[in-house]
Amino acid sequence: MTPGLRNVAAETQDGGLRTLMRIDREKMGRLGITAQNIDDVLNDAFGQRQISTIYTQSNQYRVILEAAPQYLRDPSALEKLYVAPLGGGPQTPLATFVRLENLSAPLSVAHQDQFPASTISFDLAENLPTVTRSAMR
């Protein structure tokens, strides 16, 4: 905290969670896995990807691949993912070369146009020495 400031408050609310993935790139490289392989696996599991189309006489139905809702609530679902190298070969558990770290995060992020923004309010402490013009030179 900055000396001289009291009753500091911000509109941001902590209490959210995020998971940081630390990738061991050397181990990943030895296994023949690229960053694109990891992106594809994460997108397949947690994004929505059209994998097929079912054609009937009067309609078309798109088949969408996505994770079941129970896997979207807990980062431990990442331990159930397997990654295959580009040229084929045996699949490797993501946990073999990725370490997960749970961190705190804001519950929401306000924006001013395209930039994140927050309002911060504070009081100045009593008897705080003021900066004089001669001290600024």
Q: Which domains does the chain have, with CATH numbers?
A: 9-124 (3.30.2090.10)
Separation of alpha carbons 37 and 99, rounded Å: 17
Predicted structure pTM score: 0.61
Q: Which pLDDT value is given to residue 131?
A: 56
Q: Determine how many CB atoms are found less than 10 A away from the CB of residue 127.
A: 6
Separation of alpha carbons 37 and 76, rounded Å: 19
Structure tokens at 16: 């959210």
Per-residue pLDDT of the chain (137 residues; tens, 9 = 90+): 677 788 888 777 778 888 889 999 999 988 889 999 999 888 888 888 888 999 999 999 999 888 888 888 888 888 889 998 877 788 999 999 999 898 888 888 888 899 988 888 888 887 766 654 444 44
Q: Which pLDDT value is given to residue 123?
A: 85
SS3 117: strand
Q: Which pLDDT value is given to residue 132?
A: 44
Backbone angles phi, psi at 9, to 5 degrees: -140, 145
Nearest Cα neighbor of 80 from 65, 93, 96, 98 is 93
Separation of alpha carbons 86 and 34, rounded Å: 8
At position 78, the amino acid (one-letter code) is: L
Q: Which pLDDT value is given to residue 130?
A: 63
Q: Which pLDDT value is given to residue 134?
A: 44
